[in-house]
Amino acid sequence: MSTASLSTTSTHSTMPTSSTTSPVASAGSKSASARVSHAVLYAILVALTAVFIGPLLFILVNSFKGRFFIADAPFALPLGEYWVGIQNYINGLEETNFFTAAGWSFFITILSVIVIVFFCAMTAYYITRIKTWWTNALYLLFVFSMVVPFQMVMFPTVKIADILNLDNPLGMVVLYLGFGAGLSVFIFSGFVKSIPLSIEEAAMIDGCGPVKNYFLVVMPMLKPVMITVAILNAMWVWNDYLLPYLVIGLSTPYKTIPVVVQQLVGSRGANDMGALMAMLVLAIIPIVVFYLASQKHIIEGVVAGAVKG
């Protein structure tokens, strides 16, 4: 009976409620109500999916429409006279030099993430293993830097970057190491604490010096955290707008994607809606590809970062 009721359709599922109080019937009505609530939950989830994907589809659809139709008929499909093919993309690429910006975004993000992961892991290892008052103080300073809003240090940082000639992509990497150190050192330290010291002692007895010990014994054990830290920093650096805008500025060829998108709209109030839609699509594509390729690590990274934080 209960297996039968599981396979009945939803119209049948209301029937057992009218039947009597036999234990079999009540078991049947219970699984039926569970199935109804499952159906409701799926309906909610599908509706939410539309809410979450809708905005992206809206941008994609409009990126193929003529610019005046985007304003007049924003929810129409790009068919017939609305359709302009890839003209918006051609205009947008010309106006923004988008591929150059994408190149610098990739350059700055990849190099920053490598530098952050490599050096912050070493720093975290050192301040966790060497316990003195000043390593403790440094640890607290790193944690403290996570709470401080960027505006607090914005003006002096930009001036320092200017004076020291850090207003270029390589200089950005130096600054990102400094700003990324707080969270990264914090996550690495939490993990280093959980590594038993006896493994390292064994390596030392076998003749490993501290540097060899770190690179051959400790660093391989840090690999899963390194992936977590790399992903959290990649998301942040790739999307960061204010630091590259203020440090590198608009009059250089080193602009990143967020900077050119803001420049495309901010200065002239988006008079070419078509080009804007096309550039938004191009800006979203790399991050979605990255996400679909490494979503397992991203989601694990978010959880690990949150639990440690």
Binding residues among 229-248 for other proteins as defined by CB under 8 A: 235, 238-242, 246
Using CB under 8 A as the binding rule, whether residue 225 contacts other proteins is answered as no
User: Where do the H-state alpha helices sit in 148-239?
Assistant: 150-163, 169-193, 197-205, 210-213, 219-221, 223-239
* 237 token code pair: 């650096």
Q: Judged by CB, which is closer to other proteins: 24, or 44?
A: 44
Using CB under 8 A as the binding rule, whether residue 125 contacts other proteins is answered as yes
Smallest gap from Cβ 157 to other proteins, in A, equals 4
Smallest gap from Cβ 244 to other proteins, in A, equals 11
The Cα-based distances of 282 to 27, 91, 98 in angstroms read 54, 13, 9
Out of 58, 114, 199, 224, point to the residue binding other proteins (CB under 8 A).
Answer: 58
Using CB under 8 A as the binding rule, whether residue 4 contacts other proteins is answered as no
CA 291 and chain centroid, separation: 8
Using CB under 8 A as the binding rule, whether residue 218 contacts other proteins is answered as no
Q: Judged by CB, which is closer to other proteins: 19, or 114?
A: 114
Using CB under 8 A as the binding rule, whether residue 277 contacts other proteins is answered as yes
**CB under 8 A: which stretch of 4-12, 15-23, 52-60, 220-228 binds other proteins?**
52-60
Using CB under 8 A as the binding rule, whether residue 71 contacts other proteins is answered as yes
Q: Judged by CB, which is closer to other proteins: 86, or 270?
A: 270
Smallest gap from Cβ 99 to other proteins, in A, equals 16
Q: Cα(285)–Cα(56) distance, rounded to whole angstroms?
A: 10
Task: Give residue 50's identity as a one-letter amino acid code.
Answer: A
Smallest gap from Cβ 212 to other proteins, in A, equals 11
Long-range contacts made by residues 235-238, C-beta under 8 angstroms, separation at least 24? 235/298, 236/180, 237/108, 237/109, 237/112, 237/113, 237/176, 237/180, 238/105, 238/109, 238/287
Q: Cα(238)–Cα(287) distance, rounded to whole angstroms?
A: 9
* 257 token code pair: 């994607």
